Amino acid sequence: MSRHQFSIFLERKFLEWQIEIGHRKSQAEFAKLIGVSRAAITMWLNGDHLPDRENAGKLAAYLGPEIYDMLGMPRPDPDLERLNKIWQHLPDKMRQAILKQGEKFVAEENYDEATKPVKNNI
């Protein structure tokens, strides 16, 4: 059974990181650098499991966005990520105004699926 392309990529990145540093490092140290558990790194390197969306984000932050491509996941929209970071800090009134403006734009453009109003999930 062949390993997933992601496992091979991750192993290469692990080895490149050790070469860059100039000495051997453990999988636990690599995991700490990325912000995931050692067990997760081991499972991914062995090809036992693939990362979920959250861990793919952690990996992409350190190893690059091609992680999403290898995992068959869409790359995150940078504008949506920016909005997500500030959303909790916006007053409810401003959130609602943003949602209404977006819905108005989509409705005017006659999008099929997107014309459904966004439910207030705040």
* pLDDT (tens digit per residue) in 38-72: 999 999 999 999 999 999 999 999 999 999 999 99
Domain, as residue range, for 94:
78-115
Same domain, 85 and 52: no
Using CA atoms, how far residue 8 sits from 30, 48, 74, in Å, is 15, 12, 20
Same domain, 82 and 58: no
Q: Which is more confidently placed, 108 or 22?
A: 22
CATH number at residue 67: 1.10.260.40
User: What residues have CB less than 8 Å from 50, skipping those under 6 apart?
Assistant: 4, 6, 44, 71
Residue 6, classified by CB atoms within 10 Å of its CB into exposed (0-12), middle (13-18) or buried (19+), is buried
In this prediction the pTM is: 0.68
Whole-angstrom distance, CA of residue 37 vs CA of residue 75? 23
Q: Indicate whether 121 belongs to any domain.
A: no
Taking alpha carbons only, the member of 34, 45, 36, 41 closest to residue 9 is: 45
Domain count, the chain: 2
Same domain, 29 and 56: yes
Same domain, 51 and 10: yes
Same domain, 103 and 58: no
Same domain, 20 and 54: yes
Report the 10 Å Cβ neighbour count for 10: 23
Are the C-beta atoms of 55 and 40 separated by less than 8 Å? yes
Q: Indicate whether 120 belongs to any domain.
A: no
H helices then E strands: how many in the chain? 7, 0
Q: Which is more confidently placed, 19 or 120?
A: 19
Per-residue confidence (pLDDT) for residue 117, from 0 to 100: 52
